[in-house]
Structure 1
Amino acid sequence: MITNLIIIIILLLGVIYYLYIKIGKPHITTTDNEKAYKLNKQFFLEKREVYVEDVEEVIEEHEIDHLSGNDLNVEKISKAKAIQLINASIGQNVLSNSNTNFASINKAIPIWWFDVNQKRFLEDLHLILAKNEGFIWLKIPKGTVKDPKKIFYIRGDNGLVQLKISSERYNYLKDVSSGEGRFNYKEYVVREFP
């Protein structure tokens, strides 16, 4: 959807540029008079204004955040709401604030970023990956990761396990926190919520 909007905006800007080059520049010859020049200029300004208004209307209609490219009409999910939806879907209160980590896609780098205590791998570890629309619920069962130091990057300042899960298509749901390991989270996806 965002790609289509960008294409439309680029095409409209191309049309505006074309109109400026072909119509906007007055074609002054020695026989042109002042009135013809003013009409030509007025015509260009009216056309440009119409196209600028069209572009602004498309942007407002789709409510796009120009910095992040995110659709502003999408309600972001919170950790509490995601936990509530998951527990309701399985019919019991398995997930809680204390056994679940939550992250949205990082704005600077296309990853979900978690800092997790190493002891958390001794029990089931639930990760909620918030997307622009919906979220993914991952469950890493206890005993899956016996020694996090051998698989993940451990922060030197606080000893926490740093999980950086890629949201990019070519590395989707793979750990990219270190050059080694390349832990693949795909097999731990329990469910994707729209």
Structure 2
Amino acid sequence: MDKIEALDFANKHFNSVFNSSNTHFANVNKAKPVWWIEIPINKIKSPNLPYIHLLLKSDRALNWLKVDRQYFVDNLAGFKVRENKDVICLEINSNTFQNMVGPNRASFKQFLI
């Protein structure tokens, strides 16, 4: 599944509006059970964006995480930041929904819809 297919599926089956501006997509990594996501810092700091949606495809399902943008703002220091790309990096375990990189190894399970 690619991002366009995921957005199309989510817009048809989930009760929300998904687009390239508010949604990030990842397939589960083939080498280890994680999803890799990079979110631009300017998106996290945009007051016009109340939520950042993560569509995470596993072998079994398309998982939707609805993350309040303010969560990223409030916890920015706990995430791995790639200064050269001005993004935060997430490596979310596909079994536990726990972020595996950066100083804050927070669980994202609370955002699972």
Smaller-chain TM-score range? 0.7 to 0.9
Residue of 92, 98, 101 corresponding to 2:21: 98
Which residue does the alignment assign to 2:31?
Answer: 108
Paired amino acid for 1:87: N
**Aligned-residue offset at 1:120:** 2.1
Q: Give the alignment of 1:1-20 within 5 angstroms.
A: none
User: Normalized per residue, which structure has more helix?
Assistant: 1
3-state SS, counterpart of residue 145 of structure 1: helix
SS in structure 2 at match of 1:133:
coil
Letter in 2 for 1:142: R
Q: State the shift of 1:184 in Å.
A: 1.0
Structure 2, unaligned runs of 5 or more: none
Contact 1:115-1:160 within 8 A present in 2 as well: yes
Scaled by the length of structure 1, the TM-score of the pair is 0.51
Q: Which has the higher contact order (CA 8 A, sep 6+)?
A: 2
Instruction: Quote the residue 1:71 is aligned against.
Output: none
The 5-angstrom pairing of residues 15-30 of structure 1 reads: none
Corresponding residue for residue 150 of structure 1: 77
Q: Aligned residue for 1:83?
A: 7
Structure 1: give runs of 5+ residues left out of the alignment. 1-76
Does residue 1:186 correspond to 2:81, yes or no? Answer: no
Question: Relative to total residues, which structure has the larger strand share, 1 or 2?
Answer: 2
Tell me the amino acid that sits aligned with residue 71 of structure 2.
Answer: T
Q: How many aligned positions are there? A: 109
Q: Percent identity?
A: 27
